[in-house]
């Protein structure tokens, strides 16, 4: 099978595209990744891990609006023209909404079947409290993409609901969680230094709606523990978030137990996970679930709100604890219980590693996508 994966600018959340491409190549497929790059002056091509990467420059300089979004349809037309006289995929797979814009144009012009993975949709970002001025346009384009794709891929039941509300037919939505690099995220290895005398609760991701305000309130119920928050304190809109969190910590009397660690390179994240006793996930919205899965892969139990990708990945009282969304007191009690019971943390951590190895590897993700592609190309075949 010839598979064309399309992404835009290799955004961090699309890093999994490379792993999917590598795993599909291992399964014997001819895989090519087409990366739309708004700042490229010429096309590039190179081979990586058994597949070919094509970096595609925009077809023309930015127009009056000067926006990359406006160029993606042109990139799609370029891909369709390229495929008409050379290598042509059997199936096109758009990644994130930006890659999807180019993929939809190319698929429409060539009549090829299209799969779309959003990772996160604009309506979920709205629930997180983001106030991006372009969010309305993004949601409108995502609504059009759900209708253009033959299959849309969701990572949790909540994302299935988001996609159907955008207009996707429920029967056309496949739930396939993203994998985790179990070679990088694993229990064995170095860990970041600990603060003497404190248990460590780790929270990953900083921004509106990520729920660290809930954790700071919950920290009042967890004596002897520190909360370490990883995220870009200088990111867009985060200055106000950081200021509010620090003010809240002072009001709650836990200022000396809240630490903002700043941004951390992806390859260094396992060290931080392994340094924690518990990873806490208390956002306002969680259509995906990469943080709990990465923590579990490192053998760390998770306490989180029972919805979205968190509830999909964490098994209550097996790999961690799930509490009612928004219940700060219940979150605090669950954190205190786990921090006070090393044997239970170890049992949950061992079970978490087993669950990730069975369900959340990139090999499993690629195999599930392979089945989706085959279903599009041979709809009358009985699935394995």
CATH at residue 86:
3.40.50.2000
Number of domains, the chain:
2
Q: Is 250 part of a structural domain of the chain?
A: yes
Q: Are residues 142 and 212 in the same domain?
A: no
Q: Are residues 209 and 328 in the same domain?
A: yes
Q: Are residues 155 and 298 in the same domain?
A: no
Q: Is 284 part of a structural domain of the chain?
A: yes
Among residues 284, 305, 215, which one has the least CA distance to residue 254? 215
Q: Are residues 44 and 161 in the same domain?
A: yes
Q: Is 235 part of a structural domain of the chain?
A: yes
Distance CA 157, CA 376 (A): 22
The angle at the Cα of 20, spanning 15 to 22, to the nearest 5 degrees, equals: 105
Q: Are residues 59 and 144 in the same domain?
A: yes
Cβ of 267: how many Cβ atoms within 10 Å?
9
Residue 6's domain comprises 2-179+361-377
Q: Are residues 17 and 61 in the same domain?
A: yes
Q: Are residues 208 and 288 in the same domain?
A: yes
pLDDT at res. 13: 52
pLDDT at res. 64: 46
* DSSP H or E segment with residue 268: none
Q: Are residues 308 and 172 in the same domain?
A: no
Q: Which residues contact 140 (CB under 8 A, 6 or more apart)?
A: none
Q: Is 184 part of a structural domain of the chain?
A: no
Distance CA 279, CA 349 (A): 11
Distances (CA, A) of 183 to 16, 27, 203, 290, 297: 14, 19, 22, 15, 10
Q: Are residues 55 and 100 in the same domain?
A: yes
Q: Are residues 27 and 150 in the same domain?
A: yes
Per-residue pLDDT of the chain (384 residues; tens, 9 = 90+): 999 999 987 555 556 899 999 999 999 999 999 998 766 667 888 998 899 999 888 776 555 444 778 888 889 999 999 998 889 999 999 999 999 999 999 999 999 999 999 988 888 877 776 666 678 888 999 999 999 999 999 988 889 999 999 999 999 999 999 899 999 999 999 999 999 989 999 999 988 788 999 999 999 999 999 999 999 887 667 888 999 999 999 999 999 999 999 999 999 999 999 999 999 999 987 767 789 999 999 999 999 999 888 999 999 999 999 999 999 999 999 999 999 999 999 999 999 999 999 999 999 999 999 999 999 998 866 554
* DSSP H or E segment with residue 262: strand 258-262
Q: Is 126 part of a structural domain of the chain?
A: yes
Contact, 300 vs 273, CB < 8 A?
A: yes
Contact, 275 vs 200, CB < 8 A?
A: yes
pLDDT at res. 66: 45
DSSP string, 12-56: GGGTHHHHHHHHHHHTT-EEEEEEE-TT-SS-EEEEETTEEEEEE
Among residues 286, 282, 292, which one has the least CA distance to residue 348? 292
Q: Which residues contact 219 (CB under 8 A, 6 or more apart)?
A: 201, 225, 227, 252, 254, 257, 258, 332
């Amino acid at each position: 099978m010839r598979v064309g994966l399309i992404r835009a600018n290799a955004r961090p959340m699309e890093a999994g595209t490379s792993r999917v491409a590598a795993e599909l190549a291992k399964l014997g497929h001819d895989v090519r990744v087409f990366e739309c790059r708004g700042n490229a002056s010429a096309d590039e091509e190179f081979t990586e891990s058994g597949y070919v990467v094509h970096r595609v420059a925009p077809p023309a300089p930015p127009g009056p609006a000067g926006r990359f979004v406006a160029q993606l349809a042109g990139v799609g037309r370029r891909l369709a023209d390229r495929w008409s006289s050379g290598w042509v995929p059997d199936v096109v797979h758009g990644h994130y909404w930006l890659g999807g814009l180019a993929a939809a144009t190319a698929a429409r012009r060539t009549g090829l079947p299209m799969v779309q993975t959003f990772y996160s949709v604009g309506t979920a970002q709205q629930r997180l409290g983001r106030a991006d001025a372009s969010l309305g346009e993004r949601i409108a384009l995502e609504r059009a993409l759900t209708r253009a794709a033959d299959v849309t891929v969701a990572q949790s039941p909540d994302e299935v609901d988001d996609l159907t509300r955008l207009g996707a037919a429920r029967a056309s939505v496949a739930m396939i969680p993203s994998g985790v690099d179990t070679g990088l995220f694993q229990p064995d290895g170095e860990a970041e230094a600990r603060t003497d005398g404190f248990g460590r609760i780790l929270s990953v991701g900083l921004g509106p709606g990520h729920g660290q305000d809930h954790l700071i309130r919950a920290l009042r119920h967890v004596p002897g523990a520190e909360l370490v928050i990883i995220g870009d304190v200088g990111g867009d809109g985060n200055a106000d978030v950081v200021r509010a969190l620090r003010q809240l910590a002072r009001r709650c009397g836990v200022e000396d137990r809240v630490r903002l660690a700043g941004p951390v390179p992806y390859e260094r994240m396992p060290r931080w996970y392994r340094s924690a006793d518990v990873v806490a996930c208390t956002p306002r919205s969680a259509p995906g679930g990469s943080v709990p899965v990465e923590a579990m892969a490192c053998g760390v139990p998770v306490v989180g709100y029972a919805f979205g990708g968190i509830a999909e990945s964490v098994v209550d009282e097996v790999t961690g604890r799930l509490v009612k969304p928004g219940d700060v007191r219940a979150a605090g009690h669950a954190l205190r219980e786990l921090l006070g019971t090393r044997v239970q943390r170890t049992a949950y951590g061992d079970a978490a590693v087993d669950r990730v190895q069975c369900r959340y590897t990139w090999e499993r993700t690629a195999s599930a996508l392979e089945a989706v592609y085959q279903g599009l190309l041979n709809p009358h075949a009985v699935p394995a």
